[in-house]
Amino acid sequence: MNGRDIRAVILAGGRGTRFWPLGREARPKQFLRIAGPDPMLLDTVRRLRPLVPPRRMTLVADAAQTKKARELLPRLGREAFLVEPEARNTAPALMLATARIWLEDPDAVVAVLPADHLIRDKIRFRRVLGAAAEAAAREDALVVFGIPPTYPATGFGYIRHDRSKGRRIGGVVFYPAEAFKEKPNLALADEYLASGDYAWNSGMFVWRAGVFAAKLERYAPECVPAWNAMIEALRSGSAAKLRAAFASAPALSIDYALMEKARGILVADGDFGWSDVGAWSTLLEIWPRDKRGNAARGETLALDASGCLVWNPGRLTALVGVRDLIVVDAGDALLVCDAAMDQRVKEIVEGLKKRKKYRKYV
Amino acid sequence: MNGRDIRAVILAGGRGTRFWPLGREARPKQFLRIAGPDPMLLDTVRRLRPLVPPRRMTLVADAAQTKKARELLPRLGREAFLVEPEARNTAPALMLATARIWLEDPDAVVAVLPADHLIRDKIRFRRVLGAAAEAAAREDALVVFGIPPTYPATGFGYIRHDRSKGRRIGGVVFYPAEAFKEKPNLALADEYLASGDYAWNSGMFVWRAGVFAAKLERYAPECVPAWNAMIEALRSGSAAKLRAAFASAPALSIDYALMEKARGILVADGDFGWSDVGAWSTLLEIWPRDKRGNAARGETLALDASGCLVWNPGRLTALVGVRDLIVVDAGDALLVCDAAMDQRVKEIVEGLKKRKKYRKYV
């Protein structure tokens, strides 16, 4: 079903401080060359190209990130960039992007794809995307890509589905979603993993524009005034009206605003080697490692060192007698962090924000 | 006895790779600003100034290091710099420096002082030096500064002396040396420390030029031909003869060539807060530390980190969840090392020397 009119909505506005000191406010994860030789945003666009031509792509981001994205993607036309009037979480952004497509064609299939995820098996990914478009169109469903969990992650939301109710569409298995679950604690994550009836919520969605509108109306009525205002503002072409419409939408995630409440959700089996690349230590599973488990960008000599991740391209790094460290030299700032504690890097960034003399490092 | 004619011979030719990546072949320890705000060589000269005027100072180093030393010490006259014709350990260098002084005045007192040691109590140091000059002159002795050991060091040679035989000269206690001991293993070092009859060999010596010549003749006859050749070469002013004379001297340390064999050696009690600053971790005892025991040059944020030493001036360093690390960012090269393993930094340098593409980091 690759012939179907898939519109890709790429969420390119992600922020985050987990890749500090390489990642900065002005250089978030999707612009970093950490998962491969190119920025993840570029990988995201390239991965879609065989299925979605550039004119059917929409990149959603704030003004500053849009500027950077346009430099990175000079072949995308100006109309491909949809600037968020303000940061209001994913529900308003996806309502706006879907509304714009709905005005063109309510039957168009919208695929929502974060710009900062790693997908190892691109061919399988496109197969799942094509099948999801088919399923979304045929069954008037909201489709979410569920990732088969490989460990009891506490950093992702989960989707419960009934393994016995899987159906194949276009070579891909789809399950009816039974419940969306927030990030669990470790004991619960263990249960989820053991049961086999849970998938990670990847944040990738597929829906027809008109179906999205109908589901909003039925399951998220508090969003409907903003939706209607957006449609009206887009029709009028008034930036001020659009800003007001956007500001009137609840500042919620799409999961919270719609997916957790809606019925008629299908979970696509996202078995394409996914990672959200959520922190420095996840790169230990992505980059090639030496026989001691060290992974490095930049010349690195390891003497009795193991399990370390080094980012220091163009310079030399020597590790002596150290274990399980994250070492990141960003030129003006250096991080040395226990790999098991890389979630705490954001505390460093919070600390930097509090002092004027450190603001330049944020 | 500060009025006595003390000639300082500063050994400024030290090499060493223990402070890599800050220390390089072309930038050895005595030129680094690691013990204080100035290079250690400059501290060494300044510390002597109240007792030894510049015209009585001789800096011994190879041609390249002499060039750097002259830039650092523009007030020292050209004649203050004695260039070693080749690297041949300390015995030939000290024979040459002492021979030059002997030609001027065999009664002159020579004080041999490495350029890369830290001395906390400068006033006490000068007192010990003055008293040692007095003792060396009065008793025709070779004087060595013995450091009261504070832990069972395995990285220093020791000198055995009899505590009960101490005598005061100029407010300083001197003991007859009984034996020079090579670097011990830990068990032996424990014994030395417990006995109270051992001092660390600091490598600082005081002797009259003529006494040094006489001791060489008696206890190191294999050095005498080279000594005589040096005297002759210095008299002739022939650089070629000097080079040949130097090359004919045994390439030994002065400890091995003379001190271990000679009699009539006095150990001065070097209670002036000495450190040889032998490796990065020694700076943990020298630099101010925060309440978690971290010591840093350069802005450093520590989150659940302790016992770390950071060299990263002008840049920001963040430590998260790490313990007892040495972190040194030298711009083109970065070291992250377990503090207990900093002796192995030289292995890194050996590894760098073996590969052409890494030579620039040596």
- Provide the ipTM: 0.90
Which of A38, A69, A97 lies closest to A234, judged by CA?
Answer: A97
Number of inter-chain CB pairs under 8 A, A vs B: 123
A contacts of B344 (beta carbons < 8 Å): 303-304, 320-321
Helix residue spans in chain A (DSSP H): 40-48, 63-72, 90-104, 122-139, 186-195, 209-219, 224-236, 239-247, 254, 345-353
- pLDDT grade, residue B353 (50/70/90)? very high
Residues 29-48 on B with a CB inside 8 Å of A are none
Residue B347 forms contact with A (CB below 8 Å): yes
CB A136 within 8 A of CB A264: no
Average confidence score pLDDT of chain B: 95
A104, with CB counted inside 10 A (0-12, 13-18, 19+), is: exposed
CB nearest B320 (choices: A301, A333, A338): A338
Alpha-carbon distance A304 to nearest alpha carbon in chain B (angstroms): 10
pLDDT, tens digit only, all 362 positions of chain A = 444 689 999 999 878 789 999 999 889 999 999 999 999 999 999 999 999 999 999 999 999 999 999 999 999 999 999 999 999 999 999 999 999 999 999 999 999 999 999 999 999 999 999 999 999 999 999 999 999 999 999 999 999 998 899 999 999 999 999 999 999 999 999 999 999 999 999 999 999 999 999 999 999 999 999 999 999 999 999 999 999 999 999 999 999 999 999 999 999 999 999 999 999 999 999 999 999 999 999 999 999 999 999 999 999 999 999 999 999 999 999 999 999 999 999 999 999 999 999 999 99
| Chain B interface disruption, residue of A334, A346, A362, most B CBs within 10 A | A334
> So what's the pLDDT on residue A346?
93
β-partners of residue A198 are A160
B169 pLDDT above the threshold of 70: yes
List, in order, residues 6 or more apart from A11 with CB less than 8 Å away.
Answer: A60, A61, A90, A93, A94, A112, A113, A114, A115, A203
Chain A CB within 8 Å of residue B22 CB: no
Measured between CB atoms, does A142 come within 8 Å of chain B? no
Angle subtended at Cα A223 by Cα A217 and Cα A227, rounded to the nearest 5 degrees: 85
The pTM assigned to this predicted structure is 0.90
Position B1 scores a pLDDT of 44
Would you call B71 an interface residue with chain A, using a CB distance cutoff of 8 Å? no
Taking residues B244-252, report their average pLDDT.
97
Q: Is A275 exposed, middle or buried (0-12, 13-18, 19+ CB in 10 A)?
A: middle
pLDDT in tens, B175-212: 999 999 999 999 999 999 999 999 999 999 999 999 99
pLDDT over 90, % of chain B? 95
User: Which DSSP category does B339 fall into?
Assistant: G
Q: How far apart are CA B232 and CA B244, in angstroms?
A: 11
Closest CB from A317, A333, A348 relative to B320: A348
Residue of A nearest to B357 (CA): A299
Tell me if A336 and B358 make a contact (CB, 8 A cut-off): no
Cβ atoms of residues B325 and B312 within 8 Å: no
**Cβ neighbourhood burial of A241 (10 Å; 0-12, 13-18, 19+):** middle
* DSSP class of A236: H
A318 to B337: CB separation less than 8 angstroms, yes or no: yes
Q: Is B328 on the interface with A (CB under 8 A)?
A: no
Is B356 in the A-facing interface, judged by CB distances under 8 Å? Answer: no
- The span from the first CA to the last CA of chain A, in angstroms, equals 45
Nearest CA in chain B to A341: B321
Q: In what order do the strands lie in the sheet with A309-311?
A: A295-297, A309-311, A325-329, A333-338, B316-320, B300-303
Across the interface, of A21, A317, A358, the residue whose CB is closest to B334 is: A317
Q: Say if the Cβ atoms of A320 and B299 lie within 8 Å.
A: no
Task: Tell me whether residue B144 is exposed, middle or buried, using C-beta atoms within 10 angstroms of its C-beta: 0 to 12, 13 to 18, 19 or more.
Answer: buried
> Residue A4 has what pLDDT?
61
Min Cα distance B271 → chain A (Å) is: 34
CB B11 within 8 A of CB B114: yes
CA dist B167 and A212 (Å) reads: 97
Could you tell me which chain A residue has the CA closest to the CA of B308?
Answer: A336
> Quick one: which of B195, A16, A324 has its CA closest to B179?
B195
**Quick one: closest CA in A to B318, which residue?**
A335
Q: Determine the average pLDDT of the residues in B243-250.
A: 97
Q: What is the DSSP string of B119-143?
A: ES-HHHHHHHHHHHHHHHHHHT-EE
Contact B57, B80 (CB under 8 A): yes
Contact of B338 with chain A, judged by CB distance below 8 Å, is answered with: yes
Of B306, B239, B253, B324, the closest CA to residue B95 belongs to B253
Whether the predicted pLDDT of B3 surpasses 70: no
Q: Is A79 on the interface with B (CB under 8 A)?
A: no
Please tell me which residue of chain B has the smallest CA distance to A301: B348
HSE-up (13 A, CA, CB side) for residue B92? 25
Q: What is the pLDDT of residues B291-321, one digit of tens each?
A: 999 999 999 999 999 999 999 999 999 999 9
Among A308, A325, A351, beta carbon nearest to B301: A351
Q: Cβ A336–B347 below 8 Å, yes or no?
A: no
Band (B14; pLDDT cuts 50, 70, 90) = confident
> Chain A partners of B356 at a C-beta cutoff of 8 Å?
none
- Tokens in use for B323? 């313990």
Cβ of B336 and A325 within 8 Å?
yes
Q: Do A320 and B345 touch (CB under 8 A)?
A: yes
What is chain B's length?
362
Q: How far apart are CA B330 and CA B280, in angstroms?
A: 13
Give the residue extent of every domain in chain A.
Answer: 6-275, 280-361
List of chain A residues whose C-beta atoms are within 8 Å of the C-beta of residue B321: 337-338, 340-341, 344
Beta pairing partners, A333: B316
Whether B303 contacts chain A with CB within 8 A: yes
CB neighbourhood size of B181 (10 A): 17
Q: What is the mean pLDDT of residues B230-249?
A: 97
> What integer pLDDT is reported at residue A162 of this predicted model?
87
CATH homologous superfamily of A6-275 equals: Spore Coat Polysaccharide Biosynthesis Protein SpsA; Chain A (3.90.550.10)
